[in-house]
Chain A
Amino acid sequence: MRIARLRVLLCLLVAASAALVAQAPVVPLPQRGAVTVYAASPNDLRQWDRAIDGMVRGRELLVLSSRPDPDIEGRQHESLAQYYQGVPVFGGTLTRQTAQGLTVSIIGTVYEGISIDTTPALSPAQVVLALADVSGGRLVGDVPTLLIFPTFDGQYRLAYRATMSDAKTYIVDAASGSVLWTIDEIKTQTQAQSQVGVGTGVLGDTKKISTTRAGTGFRAQDQLRPAPIRTFDTHGSEVAMNRLTQPPGATVDSDFAVDTDNTWADPPVVDAHVHSGWTEDYFFRQLGWTGIDNRRGVITSVVHTGLVDNAQYWRPPFGADSRGMLVFGRTRGGVPVTALDVVAHEMMHGVTNASLTQRLGSGLLDTLSVDRVGPTAMTFGGSSYPCDTTVVVFNDGTQLPILCSGGRYVLWSNHPGAINEAFSDVFGISAEFFYQPVGAGALRADYKMGEDVAGFGPLRAADVPSSLVAAASSQGPMAYPDHASRTFSFIAAISQGTRTNPIAITPLPWLLQGDQLVTMPSSDSAGVHLNSTVLSHAFYLAIEGGRNATSGLTVQGVGPANRIQIEKSFFRAMTVNMPSVPTMQMAAQATVQAAVDLYGANSAPAVAIRQAMQAVGLMN
């Protein structure tokens, strides 16, 4: 669950902490033009319906898909994407739910005030060449496509979107070739002939393992489930890992983990393979979802990877056969990071990505949202650093100015990323509760993540988020947030453009407490794991009930016996209602809406989720 960029960001931290230099001021207006759409009241719905219909007629919105509701008969879901002169607008997506032709809900974001030339100065080939220099890799997936990118100063840029072999998708200015934004395609969790064998897991637990006869032995290939599961063993080979992760992700028979007598004694193979199957079963039995993509696509895991203190989900086109892949590592103490909640967490990343991609053309898009505006100056080491005049100096000598608004520090976080992690935690937890008896200790269901991996977890606690240390900051240990007011928000530097014309920004591992600079080991991609506990805590409160320690608000939970109602609501929120660039508040609305859809506005689960979202500060 610690991110791959950790080492890089540590370097950033050391360099930046030592080099704060005064420079000229700038006043951007962050994310101007973005209009958050959430309409559930009849008046809002009528107004937005008219507006959306008008945009559809004007070809500003295109209906990407229209599908019947998987849970409610008579409901229909439209997924709409915003276009400007035939070019898609990055993050401009909406979902509209109708019942017998009447609109029930609308959730998403549209951008207004777009007025740019859509003729690119650079060709796709030129962009690929430029990106080859930047990424050190090659193009994977489709030829670069044009889009309208809303920049952080409220302007719009014509840009290309291209995915390179370094597992990053780049948004590149179509005029200058500069990188405006990058999206990490790895989601981390810092985790024939059918036969049934027996395997021993990491904790010595014996379980059945679905395999396939191959030659005189058996291989970790499950063909008994509708979405086949295969588990590969790279034996620590970096070459094999690169071959599998990089498109086209060519696979060979020798990639399979194998056993001679179908009595498997390699714990990470057993746990990764079996827990993938159990998670598939959980999704199918409880939520009516098949595999990762709901289309019986193969699920691939790989173990003995050399990955340390981590588990990851690589989104397509990365991973074996370009279909995504679960990658499991070990702790520094050698314990495989393959516990059930870890595996289910990573698989949920895949579900999130697949469901949004099928509806909206992309998964959740990591973007930065402004959480608040800070002071005009910060204090560090006894010195004061005005926002307008401070730059960050990196080890390689690069100097980046700090992004300010009205002379004040702007504090950002990655909401889609935090939502992604929160929902993965929710279903990691839910898988545990489906299979394991409730309690504390090994192989017991609880609201903690990764607690069964010695020397690794618990990583996060949805029941009492503040009980665990999120990071060791320069001000001491910092707890995970249980409320929106306690989320980690980061100072950002301008990575493209100037103070007067900022185009792209990058989060720094820096927070502000009052005017005091607090340095962190990492920005965690702007708090994707750090801030996830706000939503996962709401999930806990909606089931178990209780009082939020920060707001003091009490939630009447549905009770453990009815946990499935909350699980279904969260799952529907992600797979049916969620737009591709949501805020945490939007995710809260989407979840409440899902409960209303499934159980009614005044039902116990809808009330519990609404109360829970209010208790954690995501709804009024």
Chain B
Amino acid sequence: MTRLGYMSFVVLVAAFVTAAPAVAQTRQPGGAPSPRTPLRDRIFVSVDGVFQTTATDFTNTVTFRRNAEDSSFSTSYDEKSGPAFNVSGAGLVWRTIAVGVGVSRFSHGVPGAFTASVPHPFFFNQDRQVSGTINSTREELAVHVNARALLPLKSRRMQAMVFGGPSFFNVKQDLVSDFEISETYPYDTATFSRGVTNTASKSKVGFNAGADLAYFFTRQMGVGGTAQYAGTTLALDSAGGGTVDVKVGGFQVGGGLRLRF
């Protein structure tokens, strides 16, 4: 998570936390303190569309041997923010504490900038520089397990909770494993034709933390907004036998349907 992401998260959590005392201090007409409303609902479901903001650009450098000479190519992957889909559910286990599990899926195209030094077929140390763009895709699937704390609010139509816990990530990322060039005799220059990609896949445990605020139109159905961070860093296997560190997940903000039973 970037510095900005962390700050946003802290601000949101603080807002929810400070909201609870404010509600508790609200007086009923007549000046008598209002008793806390007992929680009647024990199951909470969220279906959200979110926007995942991420700044996890990365560069993968691969060494290769061509024309009897060692060289390397690099691909800078420009990870973009994009829409994701979250479904989660939680069950109240003790007073205002619930245990939840959620699934999020984030899939998007990843443009990349490709550069390579291509050895000359006839002479040593006369590399041709080629560059171009490539398109790859990334697909992140995460299962978030968390503990949730429901925050007391004055109105039963409002519901707020904070949560945190481990996340289990699986990422599939297209990585350039080879490339093709066009070249003609006497081969002094070459032009990038296309990148050949392989899909690298890896799983790793990370963490999640966030907050959720909902407004219920009816007793059981409402809408809500959520803000959470879930992420980790994992090493994808790269062409040429190396690995490349990739940050997955990120800060998500969004909203959707809320159900409680």
Contact = CB atoms under 8 A, between A and B. Distances in A.
A196 B67 contact: yes
Contact of B121 (A206, A208, A262, A278): A208
Nearest to B122: A208
Given A207-B124, A208-B121, A208-B122, A225 B67 contact: no
B94 interface: no
A197 B186 contact: no
A210 B122 contact: yes
B122 A281 contact: yes
A196 B120 CA distance: 10
B15 interface: no
A281 B66 CA distance: 21
B186 A284 contact: yes
B121 A224 contact: yes
Given A196-B67, A197-B68, A208-B68, A285 B186 contact: yes
Contacts of A281: 122, 186
Interface string A419-442: 000000000000000000000000
A226 to B, nearest CB: 6
A509 interface: no
A67 to B, nearest CB: 23
B185 A225 contact: yes
Contact of A224 (B66, B69, B123, B185): B185
Interface string A221-260: 0001110000000000000000000000000000000000
A356 to B, nearest CB: 26
A206 B69 CA distance: 12
Contacts, number: 34
Contact of B68 (A196, A224, A278, A284): A196
A481 interface: no
Interface residues of A, number: 16
Nearest to B187: A224
Contacts of A262: 68
B68 A277 contact: no
B185 A208 contact: no
A208 B186 contact: no
Contact of A198 (B66, B68, B187): B68
A284 B188 CA distance: 13
Contacts of B69: 208
A281 B122 CA distance: 10
A2 B119 CA distance: 40
A394 B191 CA distance: 68
B186 A210 contact: no
Name, among A206, A207, A208, A278, the residue most crowded by chain B CB atoms within 10 Å (CB to CB).
Answer: A208
Interface in A247-294: 262, 277-278, 281, 284-285
Name, among A206, A224, A226, the residue most crowded by chain B CB atoms within 10 Å (CB to CB).
Answer: A224
Chain B interface size band reads: 10 to 19
Contacts of A208: 67-69, 120-124
Interface string B168-201: 0000000000000000011100000000000000
Contacts of A196: 66-68, 121-122
Nearest to B121: A196
Contacts of A198: 68
Contacts of B67: 196, 208
A281 B187 CA distance: 10
Interface in B142-189: 185-187
Contacts of A210: 121-122
Nearest to A435: B123
B135 to A, nearest CB: 30
A264 to B, nearest CB: 11
Contacts of A278: 122
B160 to A, nearest CB: 67
B127 to A, nearest CB: 13
Nearest to A274: B122
Interface in B28-74: 66-69
B84 to A, nearest CB: 47
A208 B187 CA distance: 14
Interface string A33-47: 000000000000000
A278 B186 CA distance: 11
Contacts of B121: 196, 208, 210, 224
Contacts of A226: 185
Interface string B92-127: 000000000000000000000000000011111000
Contacts of A197: 68
Interface string A187-219: 000000000111000000011101000000000
Contacts of A277: 122
Nearest to B183: A224
Interface in A150-193: none
A284 B122 CA distance: 14
Contacts of B123: 207-208
Contacts of B120: 208
B68 to A, nearest CB: 5
B69 to A, nearest CB: 8
B141 to A, nearest CB: 43
A56 B124 CA distance: 55
A486 B123 CA distance: 43
A210 B186 CA distance: 13
Name, among B122, B124, B185, the residue most crowded by chain A CB atoms within 10 Å (CB to CB).
Answer: B122
A196 to B, nearest CB: 4
Nearest to A262: B68
Nearest to A226: B185
A39 to B, nearest CB: 39
Name, among A196, A210, A225, the residue most crowded by chain B CB atoms within 10 Å (CB to CB).
Answer: A196
Contacts of A207: 123-124
Contacts of B66: 196
Nearest to A278: B122
B11 to A, nearest CB: 60
Contacts of B68: 196-198, 208, 262
Contacts of A224: 121-122, 185, 187
A349 B186 CA distance: 23
Interface string A438-468: 0000000000000000000000000000000
Nearest to B126: A208
A206 to B, nearest CB: 8
A206 B66 CA distance: 16
8 contacts: A196-B122, A206-B124, A207-B123, A208-B68, A208-B121, A208-B123, A226-B185, A284-B186
Given A208-B67, A208-B122, A281-B122, 14 more contacts: A196-B67, A197-B68, A198-B68, A207-B123, A208-B68, A208-B124, A210-B121, A224-B122, A224-B185, A262-B68, A278-B122, A284-B185, A284-B186, A285-B186
Interface of B: 66-69, 120-124, 185-187
List the 6 shortest-distance A-B pairs measured between CB atoms, nearest first: A196-B67, A196-B68, A198-B68, A196-B121, A208-B68, A226-B185
